[in-house]
Amino acid sequence: MQILSKTNRFMKKFLLAGISCLLMMSCTSSPEDYQVQINDAVKFYLASCDLLIQYEQDTKAEEFYDTMIEEFATTTEDEGFKQLLTQKVAENNKYAKKAYYGYENANILLSPYTLVGENVWEFEELGTEIHFTFSITTKGSTELWKIFPNEKDIDKYIWRKALGEDGLQTLRDLGLDIDSLFEETMKEVEIEEQIAAVVHGAYSGTMNDKEVMTDDFYTELQKAFKYSSLDVWAWNGYWKFNDGSTHNYEIVEFDHDNPNYSLVYITFEDIKPNRLEDIVLYMKLVDGKWKISDICGIEWGKISYSIADFASMTVAENESDHEGNY
């Protein structure tokens, strides 16, 4: 069962970056010396989770988060995030209002600090069960402190928070184990991220055909390219046009019930002419790597053509002998 994978992918891109700040200190410090700053950072992390769950596909929410991190690096206030949020609320920023509400209502309870390395400590926010790592680096009279959350804990918190208590209770009523379901969901998210990376590599031109295609599909399509314009193939879903440009696309859905095969449904948002706007990529797991084995058009909810079949027919028509044998 797959639940909220898009939210997790969206969050992972930037939420897990460590928060850091430089301070002038007279001697080597401990986390207790930074308690105000730690509380400020933890509250901001939790408020950001809530913000980005609500605005999960809003790139401006991501930009707001990035701006907060950038501006925090230059602040000298002990509660730097609270100060920044207050300023942006005064500017009527809707993302700041949501984050500020979450910050002010975050009743955090931190566990004791555990030393796990030289000037490195771990602790847990007990209400959310998110573990954090806090470190101090000293250079002369200057200290750099950093704090960042455990990735898996953040994933689980977002997953549970987005489902809500009603959703979690429904799953319990169905007899499902919440922890096991979370682990299964995260495995699916990881697979989808691997597949999406291959699709992006193909349609962005950052990976070559041999890297993204199965051997059979690559060999047959390269042969077919000799007998027709590249644009003909691009109009049917192949990623590259004659002029080197590529499609503007969006992944709509993944379907990978079989662990070794997957379908990736994408839609084109091009100005250029295409035979169809919606296509599906057939993906196959080969030696631990996902590869594209076919590109098919979708019309009226059904497969209407296969580029692999087109390629085979094109090669056969052009390389058959005078009796039609290939």
Q: Is residue 177 predicted with pLDDT exceeding 70?
A: yes
Instruction: Identify whether residues 161 and 19 lie together within a single domain.
Output: yes
Burial zone of 226 (CB within 10 Å; 0-12 exposed, 13-18 middle, 19+ buried): exposed
Instruction: Identify whether residues 76 and 45 lie together within a single domain.
Output: yes
Instruction: Identify whether residues 246 and 304 lie together within a single domain.
Output: yes
Say if 308 falls within a structural domain. Answer: yes
**Which among 44, 235, 28 is positioned nearest to 141, based on CA atoms?**
28
Instruction: Identify whether residues 165 and 250 lie together within a single domain.
Output: no
Instruction: Tell me if 267 sits within 8 A of 276, measured CB to CB.
Output: no
Instruction: Identify whether residues 43 and 129 lie together within a single domain.
Output: yes
Q: What pLDDT is stored for residue 28 in this prediction?
A: 54
Q: What pLDDT is stored for residue 41 in this prediction?
A: 93
Instruction: Identify whether residues 131 and 251 lie together within a single domain.
Output: no
Q: The whole model's pTM is what? A: 0.66
Number of Cβ within 10 Å of residue 142's Cβ equals 11
Instruction: Identify whether residues 201 and 285 lie together within a single domain.
Output: yes
**Which among 272, 326, 280 is positioned nearest to 303, based on CA atoms?**
280
Say if 60 falls within a structural domain. Answer: yes
Instruction: Identify whether residues 125 and 260 lie together within a single domain.
Output: no
| Mean pLDDT computed over every residue of the chain | 85
Instruction: Identify whether residues 138 and 229 lie together within a single domain.
Output: no
Instruction: Tell me if 69 sits within 8 A of 57, measured CB to CB.
Output: no
Highest mean pLDDT of the ranges 5-19, 115-129, 252-266: 115-129
Of 141, 176, 211, the position where a domain reaches its end is 176
Say if 187 falls within a structural domain. Answer: no
Q: What pLDDT is stored for residue 5 in this prediction?
A: 38
Q: Quote the CA–CA distance of 31 and 136 in Å, as a whole number.
A: 8
Q: Is residue 303 predicted with pLDDT exceeding 90?
A: no
Q: What pLDDT is stored for residue 36 in this prediction?
A: 93
Q: What is the CATH classification number for the domain harbouring 266?
A: 3.10.450
Q: Is residue 317 predicted with pLDDT exceeding 50?
A: yes
pLDDT digits (tens, 9 = 90+) for 135-168: 988 877 778 888 989 988 988 888 888 888 888 8
Domains contained in the chain, number: 2
Q: Which domain holds residue 152?
A: 5-176
Say if 324 falls within a structural domain. Answer: no
Number of Cβ within 10 Å of residue 281's Cβ equals 24
Q: What pLDDT is stored for residue 171 in this prediction?
A: 86
Number of Cβ within 10 Å of residue 235's Cβ equals 16
Q: What pLDDT is stored for residue 4 in this prediction?
A: 38
Q: What pLDDT is stored for residue 3 in this prediction?
A: 38
Q: Is residue 51 predicted with pLDDT exceeding 70?
A: yes
Look-up: residue for tokens 């101090």? 136
- The DSSP element (H or E) to which 287 belongs, if any, is none
Instruction: Identify whether residues 230 and 133 lie together within a single domain.
Output: no
Q: Quote the CA–CA distance of 312 and 221 in Å, as a whole number.
A: 8
Instruction: Identify whether residues 78 and 153 lie together within a single domain.
Output: yes
